[in-house]
Structure 1
Amino acid sequence: MKAAVLHRYDETLSSDTFVHYEDVPDPRIEKPTDVILRVGGAGVCRTDLHIVEGIWRSKVDVQLPYIMGHENAGWVEEVGPAVEGFAVGDAVICHPLVTSGHCLACRRGDDMHATDSQFPGVNANGGYADYLRTGQRSLIKLPAGLAPKDVAPYTDAGLTAYRAAKKASRHLLPGQFVTVIGAGGLGHIGIQVLAALCAAEIIAVDRSDTGLALAKECGAHHQIRADGEEVENVMALTGGRGAEAVIDFVGEGEAVAKGLAMTANAGFYYIVGYGGRIEMPTLDMITSEKTIVGNLVGTYPELVELMALADRGLVHLATREYRLKDANQALHDLHHGRIRGRAVLIP
């Protein structure tokens, strides 16, 4: 099969070629519950750029060369002898983790913290290829109205945004505010989920006209440019108290400190993007009673819930399609901010 393969890290992201389009062996059934997927779409994520940079080397045990791509959807091509409920030709979306289902975290439905798991595209070969090996427990059948290439990025970008927005929606009330920092690939999904699940006013903060326009299309009631005065502008909108929830899809640079500053006393700061540091004096933490919440992708049931919202038309993805052989162009376009929403590779 053909695949876009990562052979070496590039800490500065300065190379013209991050991955090589080449022939590699087809994946094979190894366990009775394995499923071979014919890839219909593989999302291109900023995490892929961080993998190319080598940031994940200390977190996962993976040997180069290998195949990235952790946002995958397609059609069942082959099933292991123990697989039930799925047949060749079924259109499916994959939860990003492949788990055994036996550990306590799995039994609680918290697959992201499973003790026995693989994460295709992060610590195992992923979906930047014609075919992908995954597991039965990861598969969700797609409603007839959803095509694999149109939903692939939901498996990480969508699921991560859904998990954070769902957490926030549980405590946000009418008359309150939620600020979304970053209205790009994740943020535009998070805005739509907030609009679907709660009645708080949504403030979008982004540094680009493209991002702010997309935020408005997705249901943000207010759009604020990240021009150095975004904290003051959020405070003015909220009557000086700040937002009851802030969801930070950037997580680096000045976004973290500004996100915490935008958060109201007794409010919640949800960190999704990464690369920066959270620093706050303990006295400020005590007197403000702010809650800082980490978010790691999401659960299988949450992906089912997100697909239900997508099938009803309450959430949609802004996508740009690339052929698999053009994976380098997609990665460079993402790196340089030229993608509105999400990029999807199609074999």
Structure 2
Amino acid sequence: MKAVRLHRYGVPPQLDDIDKPTVSSPLDVVVQIGAAGLCRTDLHVIEGQWKTIQNPALPYTLGHENAGWIADVGSAVTGLMPGDPVIVHPLVTCGLCAACRAGDDSHCANATFPGLNTDGGMADYLLTNARAVVKLDPNLRPADVAALADAGLTAYHAVRKAVPLLPPGSHAVVIGAGGLGHIGIQVLAALTAATITVVDRSADALELARTIGAHHTINAAEDAAVVVDRLRDITGGGAHVVFDYVGEHGTPGQGLAALRNRGSYFTIGYGGNVDLPTIELISREINVVGNLVGSYNDLAELMTLTAQGKVTLHTNAYPLDAVNDAIHDLESGKLVGRAILIPAAG
């Protein structure tokens, strides 16, 4: 089968011919890939930022946002049949550790992470397990939802955690309306009655934000201090929650400055630093909250919202062999929404 493989850090991946994965244990599931998402984490993987954290053996197949159809299942798998459309949770989890038993799949003590530390789904087929797959509503196509498997799941997980902090009359600020942010805006609109203000440098991204739930938009190309002043004015003194889907290039400082006392800064994007004097943290009772992927239940709930038409993924499709074109477009900021890679048989 064809697969997008990383051979060396700092070098673009290449399309290789490798063996198709097969079922070898009772709970294994092989998925024929209908689409695989491309996101900034893939860029960071290629750069080597995840090397010391995940330490995969090179070469291996990229791709941690995957959807498709069941191709084969192990002897203990029930409720899944070949041909069933599914979306795949990013992690392959054990189900037995304390985190899994608490429903906190993303912190499984024994997880593997296809696309980061083992073969992922930028290929014709992916090996995962029965705990990772969510069957899709019949009106959803794998290509329409694949990037929700990580980008959507992470955005949903953050908003879902913040719902108790956003009663009617509250203000939420979203920094970054790109691949993750445009999903987070829709989830905010679906789950809360908060007033939503979106900050982004792209006029196209801001226009999209206005069509999917944003009440106010601000162009981040303005002076940073001016942006903060405008945010504090719109929110009546500061946001109750700031969702930072960028997490670098100064956005953490901007997001913290836009909070009201007792506000919460949720960081979803990464790459920068949070720099906050402890006396300010204490005197203003600010909360700084990290967000990592999400649980199986989060993904199932997100698929329900998607089937109901409350969340729509905006995508740009590329054939699998055009992966480096997609990477270039993502790096250069040409994409609005998400890039997905479609195998020839997808």
Shift in Å, 1:237: 1.0
Within the alignment, does 1:223 sit opposite 2:223 as a pair? no
Cα distance in 2 between the residues matched to 1:238 and 1:109: 35
Alignment correspondent of 2:9: 9
Shift in Å, 1:320: 0.6
Cα distance in 2 between the residues matched to 1:21 and 1:238: 48
Within the alignment, does 1:308 sit opposite 2:304 as a pair? yes
Alignment correspondent of 1:87: 81
Instruction: Name which of 245, 251, 259 aligns with 1:249.
Output: 245
Using the TM superposition, name which of 27-36 and 216-225 deviates more: 27-36
Instruction: Name which of 94, 98, 105 aligns with 1:100.
Output: 94
Shift in Å, 1:114: 0.7
3-state SS of paired residue (1:233): helix
Cα-to-partner distance string for 1:116-161 (whole Å, 9 max, x where unaligned):
1111111110011000000001011100000001100111000000
Shift in Å, 1:8: 1.0
Within the alignment, does 1:233 sit opposite 2:230 as a pair? yes
Shift in Å, 1:94: 0.6
Cα distance in 1 between the residues matched to 2:235 and 2:123: 47
Alignment correspondent of 1:147: 141
Within the alignment, does 1:166 sit opposite 2:163 as a pair? no
Alignment correspondent of 2:330: 334
Cα distance in 1 between the residues matched to 2:67 and 2:235: 40
Shift in Å, 1:30: 2.4
Aligned pairs for 1:15-34 within 5 A: 18-34=12-28
Q: How many residues align?
A: 340
Normalising by structure 2, what TM-score? Answer: 0.97
Cα distance in 2 between the residues matched to 1:195 and 1:122: 31
Cα distance in 2 between the residues matched to 1:176 and 1:73: 35
Within the alignment, does 1:131 sit opposite 2:128 as a pair? no
Cα distance in 2 between the residues matched to 1:221 and 1:165: 17
Instruction: Name which of 56, 66, 70 aligns with 1:72.
Output: 66
Aligned pairs for 1:189-208 within 5 A: 189-208=183-202
Aligned pairs for 1:104-123 within 5 A: 104-123=98-117
Within the alignment, does 1:292 sit opposite 2:288 as a pair? yes
Instruction: Name which of 42, 47, 50 aligns with 1:48.
Output: 42
Cα distance in 1 between the residues matched to 2:280 and 2:211: 36
Normalising by structure 1, what TM-score? Answer: 0.97
> What residue identity is the alignment partner of 2:78?
E
Shift in Å, 1:260: 0.4
Cα-to-partner distance string for 1:49-84 (whole Å, 9 max, x where unaligned):
000110001101201111110000000111111111
3-state SS of paired residue (1:170): helix
> What residue identity is the alignment partner of 1:134?
T
3-state SS of paired residue (2:119): coil
Cα distance in 1 between the residues matched to 2:2 and 2:51: 25
Q: What are structure 2's unaligned runs of at least 5 residues?
A: none
Cα distance in 2 between the residues matched to 1:81 and 1:238: 55
Within the alignment, does 1:60 sit opposite 2:82 as a pair? no
> What residue identity is the alignment partner of 2:112?
Q
Alignment correspondent of 1:281: 277
Shift in Å, 1:176: 1.6
Alignment correspondent of 1:269: 265
Q: What are structure 1's unaligned runs of at least 5 residues?
A: none
Cα-to-partner distance string for 1:199-254 (whole Å, 9 max, x where unaligned):
11000000110111111111100000112221111011122x11010000000111
Runs of 4+ in 1 over 6 A off after TM superposition: none
Cα distance in 2 between the residues matched to 1:164 and 1:204: 16
3-state SS of paired residue (2:55): coil
3-state SS of paired residue (2:165): coil
